[in-house]
Structure 1
Amino acid sequence: MNNIYPLTIFLVLFVYSTLFGQNEDFSHSSSWNSLTVKGNLNEKLFLKNELNLRRTNFLQDWEQIVLRPSVQYKLDNAFTAAIGYSYIQNYSYADFSTPIDTRENNLWQQLFIKQIFKHFDISHRIRFEERFRKQVSRVDNLSSISGTDYSGRLRYRFIVTVPLLKKKHISVIAYDEVFLDFETRLQPKNLNQNWMFVGLRFRESEHITITSGYHNINIPKDNFSITNHIWETSLIYTL
């Protein structure tokens, strides 16, 4: 199969998503940067810890800080299972964001599946999050934290990686990720949000991998939607 096929499919989906998102009521631009440290305990078991620093409004305001440690087990060359924890600090940065700063703690379980073909790779990431979020109440135009809310959310990410310059270890990577909100039900209630990403991945050495590109997020609400245009850069360091 020609290398261009999976990339073409993703570009078509990406352009469609961008055009479809032109009817949203609110949009903003962000810069997301992350550092992931990975350490192998043995051939199958390894630890990961992510630190995500996310700023918005052309870097003027904090959007989120996310800390995400996990334990991962490589079942074989295709399947990797993981359990992890996320600490998320959400900031108030616009009229359509949370009215005050809030926190979320979530526990998650994940299955990662990788399929290797001759000219490209396909990966699937399935993650279920058990979310404990601070509730915000508003009385007399004043917002305050009133308790903690529980909900479940399923995330499915479909990833295509196409080698661009094999000798320089540079690849094109594209993905689409769907978030389904379960709340406390056994079946999804609605679409929570959708992520699309297109960028370049560079493996500088066996220890350092850098990915950078454009990330588009659409979050549908009851009466409006939010689109976030992001330039995202991540660095993975393997001990």
Structure 2
Amino acid sequence: MKKIGLVLLIGLSIFTAKAQERKLHFSSWNTIDIHKKLTQNWSVNAEFNFRRTNFLTDWEQFIIRPFVHYTFGNDLDVAIGYSYIKNYSYADFSAPIDAVENNIFQQLTIKHAFSKFSFAHRLRFEERFQQKIVKTENDSYSIDGIRYRNRFRYKFQIAIPLYKFNTNRVLSLVAYDEAHLDFGNRLRPEKLDQNWMFLGVSFRVNNHIKIRTGYHDIYAKRTDFFINNQIWETTLTYKM
């Protein structure tokens, strides 16, 4: 019943989005993800996200995100991390000036592997410290303090191997959906803030390198309109 409720909530948000004004734009998101295993259970990794828009001419976001992980076997991963997020002003519907967010997050990933496919649940809770943008008397904008908010993200991903070249080189189909619930400054969800959908392929080059690329569609709710960001996303993962 919980899964059905989540699907209905996502569907309702998309239906409502179509009834309101939609701001459509296109982006290219590219990520470098570096992993280092320290012991059998402990590991660290860092993401570097380069997000461009307007035919790659403008910055949309730049993100640095380091993690510390503790794994229980191959199925359960607990992590804590930090995000530095630079949000740029790139359109009339984006923030009027550039602003920075710093957040701390806790994350749980549960994986299930079967003979012909695998799937994973990722649950992430974020404590967000966002620069507050205010309008000044001369109709310009400035930063005035920090706004604190909480957000919960649930991601469901499935991977299906399509072709195995050898033991280390595998081409897979990857799909996921991720819902973002805005908690405001409380511990109770207030609204569905965003919904992310991805469909693409993943190619494991060897034991160290994996490349994932595909189409990523985002609906982000704002006060009286929706932003629909259609993205081509590529991630390079390197395991040391």
Q: TM-score, normalised by structure 1?
A: 0.90
Shift of 1:183: 1.2
Shift of 1:166: 2.2
Alignment of 1:152-231 (within 5 A): 152-167=150-165, 168-231=169-232
In the other structure, the counterpart of 1:145 is: 143
Shift of 1:20: 7.7
Shift of 1:21: 5.6
Size of the aligned set, in residue pairs, is 226
Shift of 1:118: 2.1
- Runs of 4+ aligned residues of structure 1 deviating over 6 Å after TM superposition are 16-20
The one-letter amino acid paired with 1:187 is R
* Structure 1 residue 135 corresponds to structure 2 residue 132: yes
Alignment of 1:21-40 (within 5 A): 24-40=21-37
The one-letter amino acid paired with 2:117 is F
Contact 2:30 2:234 in 1 (8 A): yes
> Which ranges in structure 2 are unaligned for 5 or more consecutive residues?
1-9
Partners of 2:157 and 2:106 lie apart in 1 by 19
In the other structure, the counterpart of 2:87 is: 90
In the other structure, the counterpart of 1:70 is: 67
Alignment of 1:1-16 (within 5 A): none
SS at match of 1:25: strand
In the other structure, the counterpart of 2:117 is: 120
SS at match of 1:93: coil
Query: RMSD over aligned Cα, in angstroms?
Result: 1.9
Partners of 1:89 and 1:228 lie apart in 2 by 18
Partners of 2:64 and 2:77 lie apart in 1 by 21
Shift of 1:46: 0.5
Distance 1:18 1:130, change over 3 A: closer
In the other structure, the counterpart of 2:7 is: none
Alignment of 1:104-115 (within 5 A): 104-115=101-112
In the other structure, the counterpart of 2:52 is: 55
Give me the identity figure in percent. 48
Q: Residues 70-101 of structure 1: CA distance to partner in whole angstroms, max 9, x if unpaired?
A: 10011222100000000000000001000000
Contact 2:42 2:69 in 1 (8 A): yes
Shift of 1:17: 9.1
Contact 2:125 2:150 in 1 (8 A): yes
Distance 1:19 1:197, change over 3 A: farther
Distance 1:164 1:20, change over 3 A: farther
Q: TM-score, normalised by structure 2?
A: 0.90
Shift of 1:152: 0.5
